[in-house]
Structure 1
Amino acid sequence: MFGVIGTRRLAIAMAALAASLVIDPIVAAAQTSGVAAVVNRTPITTADVARRVAFLRLQRQKADSNTAREQLIDETLKRQEIARVKMSVSTDDVDASFARFAASNKMTPDQMGKILDQAGVTSQHFKNFIAVQMSWPRLLNARYGGGGSRMSSQELVTRMMESKEKPVTTEYFLKQIIFVVPPAKRNAIINKRKSEAEASRSKFPGCDQAKDFAATMMDVSVRDLGRVMTPNLPDDWKPLIEKASPNGTTATKITERGVEFLAICNQRQVSDDVAAEAVFRAEDLGKSEKSGTNPNDKKYLDELRSKAQIDRR
């Protein structure tokens, strides 16, 4: 099952980026890679810490080695958990976010990359940061159902009484069709697999025959995603799903697994209590993301920290 992808706004002043082309001598000295910490056998180097110090400085936040190291420890814990439950966004998603951020600052990705490199941050460090910022909300949503524990009957009734109208949303029944691409062959065959996935959409026989259809092709798998309401659609798939015709398929998308599309098995308007709770949760999640906080972020991270082996050096 997938969850809503919510990302915090990456607040970096590009004027500060452009002005910060001289690397601090302390940062430069730290670029000689020693080990600053080890998190569950994953090393964080002094070079990583130096890049984060530079990154914090660009954000005009407190920028010292201890703050940078603690941020990287938290991000490493998140990245390990993201990998464990296989909920990472794809490299293409990260690259697209990087490009949008550059465009919003009237730069090409190459131009922004050069500024980041010259400032001592590096493009890859920023992209690693983006990947966690995009993927982590998926875990929070999957685990806590959109930012909180389930609403009690009393809470749900209270919210519905406060609302002028009972919430209505669209309910989709979805199947995920995956044209698998092994990582070792990704560069060699991804375009071929994309062409195959595109061609298969026009021949898709419908959800009832999906598995039989997949069996006629090489390395194609089908996942039943079940019932998903509009507020719970992931941000990267939502526009594709909403553009698809009823009982049709979405456009293809390149992901970490290969090339995918979704089949719309059924869709309908619903206004029951489950739908109302989904809408209210989406509203609450939107408010928490706008404020830059999620009440379960710290709870989940504290749990990971309590189980982790962290060696600070």
Structure 2
Amino acid sequence: MSRLRLVPFALAAAAALLVHPAPAAAQSIAVVVNGQPILSSEVQARLALLRLQSGGKGGTVQAAQDELIDEKLKVTEATRYGMAANPAQVDAAFASIAQRTKLTPEQFAKAIGQRGVSAQTLKSRIGAEMAWALLVRRKYAGQIASNDRNAAASAANAGQASNKAVQYTLRQVVFVLPKKATDAQATQRRAEAVAARGRFPGCDGAVAFAAALRDVAVKEPVVRSSGALGKDLADILSKVKIGGLTDPQRTDDGFEMIAVCERKDIADDSAFRAQSEDDGGKQLQAKAEQYLAQLRSRAIIERR
């Protein structure tokens, strides 16, 4: 889904399944947007969705109305330019949200239905955001890309866009820890990793080193540039000698250390490109917000 607005939907399935269905709301017109009605039942369904997202603690009728008003404006404008969400992509996005709650789409639809949110309510929001994202990208992506190219050229001319980086060959060494390990077991396992760190023979002897220890895994070497690793990890690795290990860090698998097998200078602009992409996303978001504000300022909105 577009970065313009992700659907921030995290549902604990068990909680959703343990509540009673919300009562049906009476039908009436709550808001009219440029002659298009928004029913009170739509407002109540959207309010239920907002409350579901916030764990039942947030959401007001006005917030639900505002969101539906924005959706009407977005969909109408997107339709005017021939933009519409692909139903298959909407269904796929719905299924992805369901998967994150460890439910099938059908189970997820039933779970949220018990909280007064129909599957169609959520799909309508997803579809509106997809159509809006298509429209905004069509209108502004080219302009932003041009701005980024000009910025890159200016930075290069000013000597700011350095493409120097460091290429690392790395191996992960994992002191495996059971998923349900106690704090005492974790403390003991970390101590074992710290003690073994000082005896590490280097990358060539890593496999034999692990074989002599209890529940220690050594992964295959990987090659990464400092730009791709990110500043924090790159800074840590820059201080590790060749053949040495980083301090053990707790992960899902246990305690992980990273061995630096090789380090060499290379030309790499990945960090600059990543920054450009991030800046472009922020610019696109700002354009989307300005565009919607313009639509709202011209709209005739009647709340009843």
The TM-score normalised by the length of structure 2 is: 0.55
- Which residue of structure 2 lines up, in the alignment, with residue 297 of structure 1? 288
Unaligned runs of 5+ in 2: 165-271
Offset at residue 311 of structure 1 (A): 1.3
**Is 1:63–2:54 an aligned residue pair?**
no
Asked if structure 2 preserves the Cα contact closer than 8 Å seen for 1:147 and 1:281, the reply is no
Offset at residue 83 of structure 1 (A): 1.1
**Is 1:94–2:90 an aligned residue pair?**
yes
* Mapped partners of 1:152, 1:92: distance in 2: 33
For the pair shown, which has the larger CA radius of gyration, 1 or 2?
2
- Which residue of structure 1 lines up, in the alignment, with residue 280 of structure 2? 285
* Mapped partners of 1:163, 1:304: distance in 2: 38
Cα distance change of structure 1 residues 154 and 81 upon mapping to structure 2, 3 Å threshold: closer
* Mapped partners of 1:129, 1:150: distance in 2: 31
- Which residue of structure 2 lines up, in the alignment, with residue 52 of structure 1? 46
Cα distance change of structure 1 residues 53 and 297 upon mapping to structure 2, 3 Å threshold: same
Structure 1 counterpart of 2:298, which letter?
Answer: K
Structure 1 counterpart of 2:123, which letter?
Answer: K
User: Equivalent of 2:137, from 124, 141, 149?
Assistant: 141
Cα distance change of structure 1 residues 20 and 136 upon mapping to structure 2, 3 Å threshold: farther
**Is 1:38–2:12 an aligned residue pair?**
no
CA deviation map 1:223-261 (0-9, x unaligned): xxxxxxxxxxxxxxxxxxxxxxxxxxxxxxxxxxxxxxx
CA deviation map 1:91-111 (0-9, x unaligned): 111011111221222111100
| % identity of equivalent residues | 33
Cα distance change of structure 1 residues 48 and 112 upon mapping to structure 2, 3 Å threshold: same
Offset at residue 5 of structure 1 (A): 4.8
Offset at residue 80 of structure 1 (A): 0.7
Cα distance change of structure 1 residues 278 and 300 upon mapping to structure 2, 3 Å threshold: farther
* Mapped partners of 1:70, 1:130: distance in 2: 16
Asked if structure 2 preserves the Cα contact closer than 8 Å seen for 1:140 and 1:147, the reply is no
SS of the aligned residue for 2:12 comes to helix
CA deviation map 1:236-292 (0-9, x unaligned): xxxxxxxxxxxxxxxxxxxxxxxxxxxxxxxxxxxxxxxxx9987644234x39xxx
- Which residue of structure 2 lines up, in the alignment, with residue 308 of structure 1? 299
- Which residue of structure 2 lines up, in the alignment, with residue 155 of structure 1? 151
* Mapped partners of 2:297, 2:37: distance in 1: 18
Structure 2 counterpart of 1:294, which letter?
Answer: Q
- Which residue of structure 2 lines up, in the alignment, with residue 113 of structure 1? 109
Asked if structure 2 preserves the Cα contact closer than 8 Å seen for 1:148 and 1:295, the reply is no
Offset at residue 307 of structure 1 (A): 2.2
**Is 1:74–2:83 an aligned residue pair?**
no
Alignment of 1:270-281 (within 5 A): none
Structure 2 counterpart of 1:162, which letter?
Answer: Q
Please provide the CA RMSD for this pair.
3.2
